Amino acid sequence: RPRVLSGIQPTADSFHLGNYLGAVRNWVAMQETHDAFYCVVDLHAITAGHDPVVLRQRTRVAAAQLLAVGLDPERCTLFVQSQVPEHAQLAWVLSCITGFGEASRMTQFKDKSAKQGADRSSVGLFTYPILQAADILLYQADAVPVGEDQRQHLELTRDLAQRFNTLFGATFTVPAPYIVRDTAKIVDLQDPSAKMSKSASSPAGLIELLDDPARSAKKIRSAVTDTGREVTFDQAAKPGVSNLLTIYAALTARSIDELVEAYEGKGYGDLKKDLAAVVTEFVTPIQERTRAYLDDPAQLDKLLAIGAEKARAVASTTLAAAYDRIGFLPAA
């Protein structure tokens, strides 16, 4: 079976529909076809400042949501990044073969640091993509299911894998991004020029899995729509309406063409009202299951500890090979 690895940050109280439709939905599907490793990347979540109590809670909520949307610990390895120390260890090695200029070209860093003020950004935010490369390469992943925003980081990961292999001998599988075009970039409801983002979107711009469905309905009703009145799919001219259609189609398995036809002669208001109902129906059982997992944190932690142990078995083998190729003395 081909190997797959992906991760998600515990940087908010809930995932949003961009996370789900762009990435996590594919994680669930790939459990059936791949040897799958998925992690809650808490090391990444401390790159932009955090509160320890909140982080610990969000890490559990993230894991609970992943289980609630269908990850099955019998069919994949689900773990928390900080519980597998090899991630930080390999990241150091990779940072030593990454060019400063190369890292400086990462657009996510430029965007996020511009928001914080470049001088106030942490070095961790800068080296984030190198840690992400370590996450992936430790598992010899063939494919990495992510949203469009991660394409550049994946390209860096591929470059680093190839560079290491050339410098020190074949060690890492060179991974390919797995990006499903239709849902690769769900945009902010209030700012359709930006992707929906846990940390950057305003609350009104997000549809969150764990939010009160009545609040989500209200956000959908006040989503920025475009000039004109007809429901048509045109991402350049009508990014707001096209985003709503994308979400609607993805959650119902109806095609966009079918939806456009169904809303002929109706207005944006009808589309929004119906989408709100679709979202409510989708999130309600997910919320119930998430709560159930969170009701038993000891059990959840146990499950994650088992995942970390399975992950470590693979990660430690890869790290040992990398250390050996580099010329470190063998550990006693």
Q: What residue numbers does the annotated binding site for L-tryptophan cover?
A: 135
User: Is 195 labeled as catalytic in the residue annotation?
Assistant: yes
Q: Which stretch binds ligand ATP (CB under 6 A): 15-23, 29-37, 270-278, 292-300?
A: 15-23
Angle at 240 (CA atoms; ends 235, 244), nearest 5 degrees: 95
User: Is 238 labeled as catalytic in the residue annotation?
Assistant: no
C-beta of 3 vs 185, nearer to ligand ATP: 185
C-beta of 23 vs 67, nearer to ligand ATP: 23
Measure CA 71 to chain center. Answer: 14
Q: By CB under 6 A, name the one of 42, 149, 208, 274 that touches ligand ATP.
A: 149
31 contacts ligand ATP (rule: CB under 6 A): no
Q: Which of 195, 219, 238, 272 is catalytic?
A: 195
Q: Which stretch binds ligand ATP (CB under 6 A): 19-27, 49-57, 156-164, 270-278?
A: 19-27
For 130: left if phi > 0, alpha if psi spans -120 to 50, otherwise beta; the answer is alpha
Beta carbon of residue 246, minimum distance to ligand ATP (angstroms, whole number): 10
Measure CA 178 to chain center. Answer: 12
Q: Which of 112, 185, 219, 238 is catalytic?
A: 112
Q: Is the dihedral of CA 67, 72, 74, 75 positive or negative?
A: negative
- Which of 317, 293, 292, 288 is closest to 304 using CA atoms? 293
Non-local (6+) Cβ contacts of 210 within 8 A are 13, 14, 15, 61, 65, 283, 286, 287, 290
Beta carbon of residue 18, minimum distance to ligand ATP (angstroms, whole number): 3
Alpha helices in 204-296 (DSSP H): 213-221, 239-252, 256-262, 268-294
Beta carbon of residue 185, minimum distance to ligand ATP (angstroms, whole number): 5
Within residues 188-227, the interface with ligand ATP by CB under 6 A covers 195-200
150 contacts ligand ATP (rule: CB under 6 A): yes
Within residues 170-189, the interface with ligand ATP by CB under 6 A covers 184-186
Taking the C-alpha atoms of residue 64 and residue 58, their distance in angstroms, rounded to an integer, is: 10
The catalytic residue positions are 112, 195, 198
Q: List contacts with ligand ATP (CB under 6 A).
A: 8-9, 11, 18-19, 22-23, 146-147, 149-150, 184-186, 195-200
